[in-house]
Amino acid sequence: MLVPRRAKYRKQMRGTMKGNSYRGITVSFGDFGLMSEGTAWVSARQIEAARRAITHYTQRGGRVWIRIFPDKPITKKPAETRMGSGKGDVAEFVARVKPGRILFEMGGTTKEIAYEALRLAGHKLNIKTRVVEKEN
């Protein structure tokens, strides 16, 4: 799974996610991409599950680029713990995703294989997605 090597601060506040993505909105590396249509926190586990779905369907053919990285720590308090006594421990890392962001890219495969692989990957994510092609 993807996790940051090190961070300046161990815990972060939740923050807000408004508006559309203004970076990472074009297919840059491959020929096909998976674009988000909503706003969500995508966990490192979901990214890995989507990546595995792509590589399994393509039978390790072509090339896959992951365009998001989970760099935001999410804390959780243990079960059956009383309120108070500070912020919980870091449980997982998530990537902030806004509408228009390209999540995955593929190249080196046919259009049909790429569309189906990215469609399957989209089912592993907690966000509405669509498959897009590179604009020439």
Contact between residue 48 and residue 64 where contact means Cβ atoms under 8 Å apart: no
Q: Kindly report the average pLDDT of the chain as a whole number.
A: 96
Decide if pLDDT at 136 tops 80.
no
**pLDDT reported for residue 10:** 96
Decide if pLDDT at 40 tops 90.
yes
Distance CA(34)–CA(115), nearest Å, equals 9
Decide if pLDDT at 57 tops 90.
yes
> Residues 76-101: what's their mean pLDDT?
96
Distance CA(26)–CA(100), nearest Å, equals 9
Given pLDDT bands bounded at 50, 70 and 90, which one contains residue 95? very high
Share of the chain above pLDDT 90, in %: 96
Instruction: Considering the domain delimited by 32-78+88-133, tell me its CATH architecture.
Output: Alpha-Beta Complex (3.90)
**pLDDT reported for residue 60:** 86
- pLDDT tens digit sequence for 17-27: 999 999 999 99
**pLDDT reported for residue 135:** 87
Decide if pLDDT at 75 tops 80.
yes
pTM: 0.94
